[in-house]
Amino acid sequence: MTDSTPRLVSAAYWIWVLCAAAMVLLGLLALTTSSAALREQLGSDADSFVALLRGVGGATLVFGLAIGFLAAPVRAGNARGRAVEVVLSSVFALAAIALTVTGVLAPVFLVIPLLLVVAGVLVFREGAREWFRRERAE
């Protein structure tokens, strides 16, 4: 077994880092949204929509930070970290799909959950499995 990180794991790592950065940015943007800017278009519903948007933004920020911080241990070969990272990515992806179906999120934001699922699949492919098995063997 070589000591270099497999390409699949490195690709998944960079996908998770990119998605985490985008999630943190979008979460911060959603948290700082002003209801005054939306009041003309939504009328009296602006306050409830902004509250929903801020809730989604806060959740996106938390998931983005968690996914970003867990990416490094996964790249190092931590099997438990891999499982937690994939579960977090999957939960966020399912929530984003549900929010898109209900009309809360725009379909363009499905790019991030799709990339998270791709990263989760990459770390469970055959070329990456050996990288996580070596931790148990040592």
Indicate whether 126 belongs to any domain: yes
* Secondary structure (DSSP) of 29-80: HHHT--HHHHHHHHGGGHHHHHHHHHHHHHHHHHHHHHHHHHHHHHHHT-HH
Burial of 41 (0-12, 13-18, 19+ CB in 10 A): exposed
Domains held by the chain: number:
1
In a domain, 1, yes or no: no
69 occurs within a structural domain: yes
Q: Which residue has the higher pLDDT, 50 or 25?
A: 25
Q: Which tens digits make up the pLDDT trace of 74-86?
A: 999 999 999 999 9
**Domain annotation covers residue 19:** yes
Q: Could you list the residue range(s) of the whole structural domain that residue 69 is in?
A: 7-137
Model pLDDT, residue 39: 75
Task: Decide: pTM greater than 0.85.
Answer: yes
In a domain, 2, yes or no: no
Q: How far is it, in rounded angstroms, from Cα 50 to Cα 36? A: 10
Match 């994939």 to its residue by tokens. 86
pLDDT of 1 strictly over 50: no
78-108 pLDDT, tens digit per residue, is: 999 999 999 999 999 999 999 999 988 899 9
**Mean pLDDT of the chain, nearest integer:** 90
The two structure tokens encoding residue 17: 């880092």
54 within domain boundaries: yes
Within a domain: 42: yes
- 30 falls within a domain: yes
